[in-house]
Amino acid sequence: FITSKEQFHAYLRAGGEEEEKEEKELEIQGKLYLAPLTTCGNLPFRRICKRFGADVTCGEMAVCTNLLQGQSSEWALLKRHHTEDIFGVQLEGAFPDTMTRCAELLNRTIDVDFVDINVGCPIDLVYKKGGGCALMTRSNKFEQIVRGMNSVLDVPLTVKIRTGVQEKVNVAHKIIPRIREWGASMVTLHGRSREQRYTRSADWDYIAECARIASPMPLFGNGDILSYEDANRAMQMGVSGIMIARGALIKPWLFTEIKEQRHWDISSRERFDILKDFTNYGLEHWGSDTQGVEKTRKLLLEWLSFLCRYIPVGLLEHLPQKINERPPYYLGRDYLETLMASQNVDDWIKISELLLGPVPPSFTFLPKHKANSYR
Ligand SMILES: Cc1cc2nc3c(=O)[nH]c(=O)nc-3n(C[C@H](O)[C@H](O)[C@H](O)COP(=O)(O)O)c2cc1C
């Protein structure tokens, strides 16, 4: 029987009212997070990174409206490999109703540890519709998206942002406390603006300031990490963890280097074996028929456009390699090392032929990330 006002209130809290949702927490303090990477961050690539020590992985950005329309190629982006033990998916969209609907659908249909909103995407196609980075300037819509998605998800909701849209006009520090209030469990900050793209270095002092402001909500820092020294410096900035994008594409063994605090002078043979494993994972994932072989080849070539930027430790004058340094032409210590350092698409195709056989007649390839064909 209810005999007091307190009991009556307790009764209301327990059942009379809608039950409060449990606090959603993401246990990823100090972890190494492989960034969501459109095209390159496919499942076979993520398997490679997991083997080298990536802790957290995320699917490639999926477009909310494509998911709602039932496009199977978009749903394929949400697949998880069983080795991905802390795995999230990333959504892009511009409107609270579609994003919330989509989150509801994902909540019912897929098994993930978190859902991330892409509020960093700089590309025109997304930005002009009000999605990606544009949400940083549409705070009402942004709020409704975070609140809406959070109310329907049983897993934590995270948000990936940039410093702002314009260079020199940082707004992340103003938005972060609000994102926390709206109920997000974590923020990842890429220390560059939309305008800046990849020019100049990520602003880690600003990331540090934002990490302080975000507390007690965890903030992951992202930008320019290519060595364990870079990672150590980043961790000293007071972030909860670090996210790595191009560094993982250029040298997926970076996760091992960070965990073992060393430089790994990896041989060309060992690197070739990584490519062999990727090829096998690709054929397993996309199929070993002609279509699967060519899909695997295309994604291998996309990856090779980053891998060729690795400079072997044994050849460096100054350790460690910096992500924005472009080396002069150099010869490797063996034929394979020289071939892997080539910036020439024809040489990437040659590597793909060593693994997947000859390319079909009149085959051409242009890397998606044009920033990499820096010839
Ligand atoms: C090929 C490529 C694809 C990317 N795709 C995504 C994506 O789908 N979602 C996203 O939030 N960021 C994406 N990014 C941005 C990265 O996640 C990361 O924020 C950025 O590259 C800075 O980190 P880095 O200096 O370690 O490369 C992409 C970056 C690259 C190079």
Mutate to test the pocket of ligand 1, among 117, 246, 254, 324 (most ligand atoms within 8 A of CB): 246
Q: How far apart are CA 147 and CA 69, in angstroms?
A: 23
The answer, yes or no, to whether residue 321 has pLDDT greater than 90, is: yes
DSSP-derived 3-state class of residue 254: helix
Confidence tier at 325 by pLDDT (50, 70, 90): confident
Cα distance from N-terminal residue to C-terminal residue, the chain? 80
The average confidence (pLDDT) of the chain is: 93
Residue-wise pLDDT tens digits, 247-280:
999 999 999 999 999 999 999 999 999 999 999 9
Residue 1: partners with Cβ closer than 8 Å, 6 or more residues away: none
CB 368 less than 6 A from any atom of ligand 1: no
AA letter at 52: F
Q: How far apart are CA 234 and CA 241, in angstroms?
A: 8
Residue-level pLDDT at 373: 39
DSSP tag of 280: H
Give CA 137 to chain center in angstroms: 22
Q: What's the gap in Å between 181 CA and the centre of ligand 1?
A: 26
CB atoms within 10 A of CB 162: 27
Q: What's the gap in Å between 244 CA and the centre of ligand 1?
A: 8
CB 369 less than 6 A from any atom of ligand 1: yes
DSSP tag of 96: H
Task: Report which protein residue has its CA nearest ligand 1's atom 23.
Answer: 223
pTM of the model: 0.93
Residue-level pLDDT at 328: 87
Q: What's the gap in Å between 289 CA and the centre of ligand 1?
A: 30
Task: Report which protein residue has its CA nearest ligand 1's atom 10.
Answer: 36
CA angle 314, 252, 199 (to 5 degrees): 85
Q: How far apart are CA 112 and CA 84, in angstroms?
A: 10
Mutate to test the pocket of ligand 1, among 32, 33, 38, 192 (most ligand atoms within 8 A of CB): 38
Higher-confidence position of 4 and 352:
352
Q: How far apart are CA 19 and CA 110, in angstroms?
A: 24
224: left (phi over 0), alpha (psi -120 to 50) or beta: left
Contacts 24+ apart (CB under 8 A), 118-126: 118/36, 118/61, 118/90, 118/91, 118/92, 118/160, 119/159, 119/160, 119/161, 119/162, 120/160, 120/161, 120/162, 120/190, 121/61, 121/92, 122/162, 122/194, 122/197, 126/92
Q: What's the gap in Å between 245 CA and the centre of ligand 1?
A: 5
The answer, yes or no, to whether residue 360 has pLDDT greater than 50, is: yes
CB 248 less than 6 A from any atom of ligand 1: no
Residue 7: partners with Cβ closer than 8 Å, 6 or more residues away: none
CB 247 less than 6 A from any atom of ligand 1: yes
Q: How far apart are CA 20 and CA 8, in angstroms?
A: 17
Residue-level pLDDT at 375: 37
CB 224 less than 6 A from any atom of ligand 1: yes
Q: Assess contact for 21 and 147: CB atoms under 8 A.
A: no
Q: Which residues are catalytic?
A: 121
Task: Report which protein residue has its CA nearest ligand 1's atom 31.
Answer: 246
Residue-wise pLDDT tens digits, 78-131:
999 999 999 999 999 999 999 999 999 999 999 999 999 999 999 999 999 999
CB 225 less than 6 A from any atom of ligand 1: yes
CB 162 less than 6 A from any atom of ligand 1: no
**Closest ligand 1 atom to Cα of 192:** 22
CB 231 less than 6 A from any atom of ligand 1: no
**Closest ligand 1 atom to Cα of 248:** 26
Go through 102-137 and write b for each residue having 16 or more CB atoms within 10 A of its CB, e for each that does not: bbeebeeebebbbbbbbbbbbeeebbeeebbbbbbb
CA angle 204, 209, 211 (to 5 degrees): 90
Residue 322: partners with Cβ closer than 8 Å, 6 or more residues away: 226
CB 118 less than 6 A from any atom of ligand 1: yes
Residue-wise pLDDT tens digits, 21-51:
565 778 999 999 999 999 999 999 999 999 9
Mean local confidence (pLDDT), 144-158: 98
